[in-house]
Amino acid sequence: MKNTTRHLKRVTAAAAVTLAAFSLSPSAASALPGGGSGGPAGEPGTQVVGGTPAEQGEFPFMVRLSMGCGGSLLTQDIVLTAAHCVDGSGENTGITATAGVVDLEDSAAVEVNSTEVLQAPGYDGTGKDWALIKLEKPIDQPTLPIAGDDSLNNGDFTIAGWGADKENGDQQRYLLKAQVPFIDDATCKSAYPNLVEGEELCAGKLDTGGVDTCQGDSGGPMFRKDDADKWVQVGIVSWGDGCARPGKPGVYTEVGTFAADIKKAADSLGG
């Protein structure tokens, strides 16, 4: 985890099960106990700040993970999330993925346990913030394709999650969504000199703040429509300074950079 005294991952405590809001503004949150981007150093990050409730079925690829992170269905039995949400690679039956609903307490929610985790090779807390979670059985929901390059790294992105709806706020029961604009690397580096260009991208309302991912949103997708009007994932919620602060946008793993590695890893898991 990079410089956690200033730039916190957007993770939240595992005990917080009612996570539903994702904040669309500068700074993304992790999902592991004690590592968030939504509060003072050492506290977990939160959800989508400045968001509105998502409609049932609007983002059917969204997944809530029991350790307090978000994720997306790369395939029906593999979840794409953040490397900082998991503890290394190998057999792991202790994670539960919840999908198919915007209300985490909906009786129609589908819950499936993990069988294996594959953390990005070489992940050391800086960049390469992606991981895959293999599920014991498929989830019958649409999947979210990933970008193969950086051609969609522009315009406005959609973010969604069950994280906190404000810095130091509570996890949400209902899925929240928001939109955040792309910020180029040169501009983002003025806020975060340690930005790993080519591996991380930034999004948020730089001047005003107010919209962002937060604690509990770590690992969730940032996505947009392609030329065929289909959703494509371009980012993974990673880290930021606080949640939705002016001058401190959210930082996301640049999916296009790692597309080949992610697909190779998924193939190794049988996805």
3-state secondary structure of 157: strand
| Cα gap 233→75, rounded to integer Å | 13
Going by C-beta distance under 8 Å and a sequence separation of 6 or more, which residues neighbour residue 37? 7, 8, 9, 10, 27, 28, 29, 30, 45, 46, 214, 215, 218, 239, 240, 241, 242, 243
Active site residues: 84, 129, 218
Question: What one-character DSSP code corresponds to residue 146?
Answer: B
| Cα gap 28→244, rounded to integer Å | 8
Going by C-beta distance under 8 Å and a sequence separation of 6 or more, which residues neighbour residue 249? 25, 26, 27, 180, 183, 188, 191, 202, 203, 204, 205, 206, 212, 240
CB of 200 closer than 8 Å to CB of 238 = yes
What is the Rg, in whole angstroms, of the alpha carbon atoms belonging to the chain?
A: 16
